[in-house]
Structure 1
Amino acid sequence: MSSIIKYIAQHTQIPENNVKSTVQLLNEDCTIPFISRYRKEATGNLDEVQIGDIVKYKEQFETLEKRKATILKTLEEQDVLTSDLKQNIENTQELTTLEDLYLPFKKKRKTKAETARKNGLEPLAKIIMSQSRDFRKNDLETTAYRYLKGDIKTIDDALEGARHIIAEWINERTDIRNSLRNELERRAQISTKVVKSKIADEKAQKFKDYFDWSESLSRIPSHRLLAILRAESEGFIRVKIEIDDDRVLERIGNKIIRSKNACADHIELAISDAYKRLLFPSLSNEALSKAKEMADESAITVFAKNLKQLLLGSPIGEKRVLAIDPGFRTGCKVVCLDAQGNLTHNETIYPHAPKNDSIGAIKKISSLAEAYKIEAIAIGNGTASRETEALIRKIHFKNDVQVFVVSEAGASIYSASKIAREEFPNYDVTVRGSVSIGRRLQDPLAELVKIDAKSIGVGQYQHDVDQSKLQNQLDMVVENCVNSVGVNINSASKPLLSYVSGIGPKLAENILDYRMKYGVFKSRKDILNVPRLGGKAFEQSAAFLRIKDAQNPLDDSAVHPESYTIVKQMAKDEGVSLKELIGNKSVLQKIDLKSYVSKQVGLLTLQDIIKELQKPGIDIRETAKVFTFNQNIKTITDLQEGQLLPGIVNNITNFGCFVDVGIKESGLIHVSNLSDSFVKDVNEHVHLHQQIIVKVLSVDVARKRIQLKLHK
């Protein structure tokens, strides 16, 4: 246990005591949201990110230890495990170093060195490596002559075979491998050349910047490396890793060659062979893989930040919504939803070309708004969005109706999904897509959890990064978002419930079955009646599951059931009822929390309880705000340099952010145009779906590129 704690503490810089307590909780199947919110005393008030890092390095350590055990067992079976080698393996903290130690003993496919050994040339290789001062050329040839037999017909054959063995020894030396790694890390250049046969390919043109490119591998930005690797995988360019070969060969020679005789000449040839055939191909690939891994990590971080902002986007709340999925030829699909997101009506209108029935569409929208007491209209931001928004804004509604343009990203994925078919078995994909647009306005989080996060498209090169790591990170983001907001157990969908701490898909299904059979949950105690939902799952999930209008008002708060007795004692001590205590800031602020500290409950937990009691059940998200684009800007040709325009941030990358200014093409605010000072993190200056004012710097109509500057 102490080894893993030291390993995690070393990599995270978190105190060992806090790491130890957190690892113990993780081993007890506690979730990250639960630990960060309800076990603050044990962890030293670590947040989700820090606990996530502990999980990451815990898994990394366990993978390392598993690999060590496999290697040690293999070496024992080969009867080559010395006490020194065993100690070196056990003390290794890096997977790369571990594999280097194992390399000389690794079973290899048929190699030149292996063939040479079978031909009995290893003793000759050892003689050459001894670099005896007395050896002249004739002496070495005479010695090599003794090894002529079988496939070894000439002296040159014998010496070449010996060099192959020496080259393998050089390749297996840890110090030489680490020296080359260091050289690659510090001085490697990545260069590209276009594949001439593809230069005219239309698809290749988006990679035009990389037809002839070179820069430092250690400094290349993540988005550029991923773009280059994508261009290579699609066959448009060739990629090379380059360093100063002569410099490296000289450094290797200085480590090995100790004489200036005939032996040294052959060792020099072996060094060159080892470098070009074994060392450089292997370690340059390793360097590129590490650079790709770092680029993946950077891209995944960007995606995760964007996803979090999107999931925690502003909800309009429980309001009656009319949602429109705009279109031209096929018409605009219209649905009406009640305040809980249930579908109450659907039909199609044709206000745009070719039918151009705008008068009929206006009448229909007006009558639906009145009949269903619509409070807000959600318009998808895809094809015909601007035209549909302009039409809606012409309507004079009898009541106050807010109009929103909503992102359609991933709506088509949802509408064709199993979840959508289960929710709306009697409706086609067009109706389901419109419902999703309307529900996104009511509660973005509740709707977006139904869609594979990778399909939402808020990031950079998400299909090029390690998909397993991406999925794990996105799942963690969704889980943290869902639990930070809380879930109404009586209205939540199966996908939303499945992300609640301690629940998962199977228990979420059981909760829905229970709801269907017995009706709504009246208290948190009822949750224990759900089949297969035991004490551990209840402990992990209960505080994140909310029950509206429950007899116990704490059931609609983030106060954990394990702390109910403390709150009741507080109310009793203050001479008020539980209902009178909740929300009563003047009473809550007077409570002496130190008097409630015990071995089980610390000050951090008590402070959280008071904070929650002051604003019980309040949504942490801001309320959605209406936004209007410049109505005079309809296409990219309407843009002019110097214009100031309202826009909405619709994607964030490491090199800047993209902004929707109300036309098909999004504009780019490069990092250099976000601020007059150096920008370390784009997210420190803008956030997803933020409403901003931008200045048009340049417009390239042919390439459909718009350069913008953040106007402050």
Structure 2
Amino acid sequence: MSGASDIIAEWINESEAARNAIRKIFSYEAIISSKIIKGKEEEAQKYRDYFDMKDKLSKCSSHRLLAMRRGESEGFLRVNIAPDEEKCIERLKKIFVKSDNESGDLVFDATIDAYKRLLKPAIENEFAAESKLKADIEAIRVFSENLRQLLLSPPLGEKRVLGIDPGFRTGCKVVCLDNQGNLLHNETIYPHPPQNDYAKSARSIQKMVEAYNIQAIAIGNGTAGRETEHFIQNIRYDRKIQVFVVSENGASIYSASKIARDEFPDYDVTVRGAVSIGRRLMDPLAELVKIDPKSIGVGQYQHDVDQNLLKKSLDQTVENAVNRVGVNLNTASKHLLTYISGLGPQLAQNIVNYRAENGAFMNRKQLLNVPKMGNKTFEQCAGFLRIPESDHPLDNSAVHPESYPIVELMAKDMKIDIKELIHNKEVIQKINLNQYITDKIGLPTLTDILLELEKPGRDPRNSVKVFEFDANIKRIEDLICGMELPGIITNITNFGAFVDIGIKENGLIHVSHLADRYISNPSEVVSLHQHVKVRVLEVDLMRKRVQLKLI
């Protein structure tokens, strides 16, 4: 009878009706549960919330699911997915047990065996993979949106910047950059313990500001960042100097990379890191494209998700950001040009080589002289490449060369030169777009052209703003529940937003404390690098956690 029971169990397992019935119950009623593995309690404290947790699989948020799976992969948690066992067996009984006799009992026993030994493990694996993929996609969406906001952070623009990579024992590495981000000078100062060479360090900063005509100072937000900001703010300068705190995330990765070594072969990683901090203030997009997006620190379980899906999404996000802003053809790095539509690494390098051999581009048509630049590629990339030096005013705009004849016709019809048409809102508003519609150019494209003529080469990014933390708050022990503080949004997840309030630990605004109404997505309320005001709700000194509320 054992052999017959096994055959029936196999038959039930292979039945489409059985699988569909169990899948349906899993889909609506499966519970995902996690339990701590006995003896692992002490070393698994970061997973304390998941030591004995149950949640409906269909309702389980992506970050909770990924946290459980990470705890499982690290050997701390046991994770299980299953609906009510009796309900599943009862459903199979209705399908397969047709008689109330000895043969019916045999089929029922085989049904139980089929479910426990075959169907449940197989379908649990299906739902584990499906739920993991769903969580991956959501986590990647959050990461990509954070990356998009970070890449489109406000730039300071072409100003002379003093960049500082702060430190205590090893000192603060200081670099002076010209308005194109070229390194002019570097030195190390020691204003903090153990050296405490405050006066000499202050004089050095004053001399550098004066000698290199510095207009702004960028300070990394890592170790000794707050102390260095306080030191810099207390120095008297011979001009108005703006001081900014800049995220260091990924700067150490860049400074040790081949890109940095090729650019600064004669300097160590500390100089390269300080240069990166200064350049991030000038143009975050141009500097961040040199760093693997996964190192920038705005992801949600990025190391746990499907890496191929993640790379594809992040690359697309970078490309969209670069093309939305556009780049200066005569100053853009190879890394920035790589992301321009149609180019890629080889053509980007060819453009840089052409520039080095022939000097600056004077018009977009010269792009066709670049090796391997065909007409199709030119059509794809030309509208995103700006040439401020060009004698054709549209070469410094987002208007594509194939649309130049339309603009020239508009100017002719309005009886003015193209240069007079650009920025001339009064004349532009008089243009009747309907008379310029053709088989190739429709009304939406013409509308975009007019918007571009009003503000050619406009940067979609906002202007950078100076920010100051509360000077009295330097460590987590300084926090008191109820106090209100300024902060900067540093990361956004599905469960809330992390905020830099000027201490080592970032505080968390849970999604329920972001607004006085229900919100499904924190991005509805806050954005990356947004300046906010928060109230301290809870301080957990043991776990180094700070709970905040947006006010």
Tell me the TM-score normalized by structure 1: 0.76
> Which has the larger helix fraction?
1
Consecutive unaligned residues in structure 1, runs of 5 or more: 1-158
Secondary structure of 1:197 counterpart? coil
Aligned-pair distance for 1:298?
Answer: 1.4
In the other structure, the counterpart of 1:284 is 124
Q: Which segment drifts farther, 191-200 or 644-653?
A: 191-200
Q: 2:12 aligns with which of 166, 170, 173?
A: 170
CA distance in 2, matches of 1:271, 1:341: 72
2:35 paired with 1:193: yes
In the other structure, the counterpart of 1:110 is none
1:300-334 per-residue CA deviation (whole Å, 9 max, x = no partner) reads 11111111110000100000000000000000000
Aligned-pair distance for 1:663?
Answer: 0.7
Aligned-pair distance for 1:161?
Answer: 2.5
Aligned-pair distance for 1:200?
Answer: 2.2
Consecutive unaligned residues in structure 2, runs of 5 or more: none
CA distance in 2, matches of 1:681, 1:606: 35
- Runs of 4+ aligned residues of structure 1 deviating over 4 Å after TM superposition are none
1:202-232 per-residue CA deviation (whole Å, 9 max, x = no partner) reads xx11111111111211111111111111111
CA distance in 1, matches of 2:155, 2:12: 63
CA distance in 2, matches of 1:511, 1:165: 69
In the other structure, the counterpart of 2:315 is 475
CA distance in 2, matches of 1:192, 1:616: 56
CA distance in 2, matches of 1:566, 1:259: 82
Letter in 2 for 1:160: S
In the other structure, the counterpart of 1:322 is 162
1:316-366 per-residue CA deviation (whole Å, 9 max, x = no partner) reads 000000000000000000000000000010111111111110111100000
CA distance in 2, matches of 1:447, 1:519: 23
CA distance in 2, matches of 1:287, 1:341: 51
CA distance in 1, matches of 2:291, 2:20: 45
Aligned-pair distance for 1:257?
Answer: 2.3
2:150 paired with 1:301: no
Residue correspondence of structure 1 range 581-600 to structure 2 within 5 A: 581-600=421-440
Q: 1:337 aligns with which of 156, 177, 185?
A: 177
Secondary structure of 2:141 counterpart? helix
Aligned-pair distance for 1:386?
Answer: 0.5
Letter in 1 for 2:287: E
In the other structure, the counterpart of 1:116 is none
Q: 1:701 aligns with which of 526, 541, 548?
A: 541
2:463 paired with 1:623: yes
CA distance in 1, matches of 2:376, 2:22: 51
In the other structure, the counterpart of 1:231 is 71
Q: 1:418 aligns with which of 254, 258, 261?
A: 258
CA distance in 1, matches of 2:505, 2:87: 49
Letter in 2 for 1:206: K
1:555-613 per-residue CA deviation (whole Å, 9 max, x = no partner) reads 11100111010000001111011111111111111000000001111100000000000
In the other structure, the counterpart of 1:667 is 507
Residue correspondence of structure 1 range 243-642 to structure 2 within 5 A: 243-642=83-482
CA distance in 1, matches of 2:463, 2:166: 25
Identity of aligned residues (%): 60
Q: Which segment drifts farther, 455-464 or 191-200?
A: 191-200
Aligned-pair distance for 1:410?
Answer: 0.4
CA distance in 1, matches of 2:151, 2:418: 33
2:478 paired with 1:645: no
Letter in 2 for 1:254: K
CA distance in 1, matches of 2:499, 2:378: 43
Letter in 2 for 1:661: I
Secondary structure of 2:337 counterpart? helix
CA distance in 1, matches of 2:469, 2:100: 78
CA distance in 2, matches of 1:686, 1:177: 44
Aligned-pair distance for 1:169?
Answer: 2.1
Aligned-pair distance for 1:701?
Answer: 1.3
CA distance in 1, matches of 2:21, 2:385: 55
Residue correspondence of structure 1 range 64-213 to structure 2 within 5 A: 159-201=1-43, 204-213=44-53
Aligned-pair distance for 1:665?
Answer: 0.7
CA distance in 1, matches of 2:14, 2:349: 55
Letter in 1 for 2:518: F
Secondary structure of 2:274 counterpart? helix
Aligned-pair distance for 1:641?
Answer: 1.1
Secondary structure of 1:198 counterpart? coil
In the other structure, the counterpart of 1:35 is none
CA distance in 1, matches of 2:468, 2:83: 54
Aligned-pair distance for 1:264?
Answer: 2.3
Secondary structure of 2:39 counterpart? helix
Letter in 2 for 1:230: R
Secondary structure of 1:510 counterpart? helix
CA distance in 2, matches of 1:164, 1:671: 51
Secondary structure of 1:604 counterpart? helix
1:395-428 per-residue CA deviation (whole Å, 9 max, x = no partner) reads 1111111000000000001111111111111111
Letter in 1 for 2:410: M
Aligned-pair distance for 1:259?
Answer: 2.4
Aligned-pair distance for 1:269?
Answer: 2.2
In the other structure, the counterpart of 1:151 is none
Letter in 2 for 1:365: I
Q: Which segment drifts farther, 530-539 or 402-411?
A: 530-539
What is the aligned length? 551
Residue correspondence of structure 1 range 683-698 to structure 2 within 5 A: 683-698=523-538
Secondary structure of 1:341 counterpart? coil
Q: How big is the alpha-carbon RMSD for the aligned residues of Structure 1 and Structure 2? A: 1.0
Secondary structure of 1:196 counterpart? coil
CA distance in 1, matches of 2:3, 2:189: 81
Aligned-pair distance for 1:196?
Answer: 1.6
1:483-531 per-residue CA deviation (whole Å, 9 max, x = no partner) reads 0000111111111111000011111111111111111111110111111
Residue correspondence of structure 1 range 29-68 to structure 2 within 5 A: none
CA distance in 2, matches of 1:511, 1:179: 60
In the other structure, the counterpart of 2:518 is 678
Residue correspondence of structure 1 range 1-16 to structure 2 within 5 A: none
CA distance in 2, matches of 1:405, 1:216: 43
CA distance in 2, matches of 1:619, 1:653: 27
Secondary structure of 1:345 counterpart? strand
Secondary structure of 2:135 counterpart? helix
Q: Which segment drifts farther, 364-373 or 636-645?
A: 636-645
CA distance in 2, matches of 1:530, 1:161: 75
In the other structure, the counterpart of 1:68 is none
Aligned-pair distance for 1:179?
Answer: 1.4
1:142-165 per-residue CA deviation (whole Å, 9 max, x = no partner) reads xxxxxxxxxxxxxxxxx3223323
Aligned-pair distance for 1:458?
Answer: 0.5
Letter in 2 for 1:197: G
Tell me the TM-score normalized by structure 2: 0.99
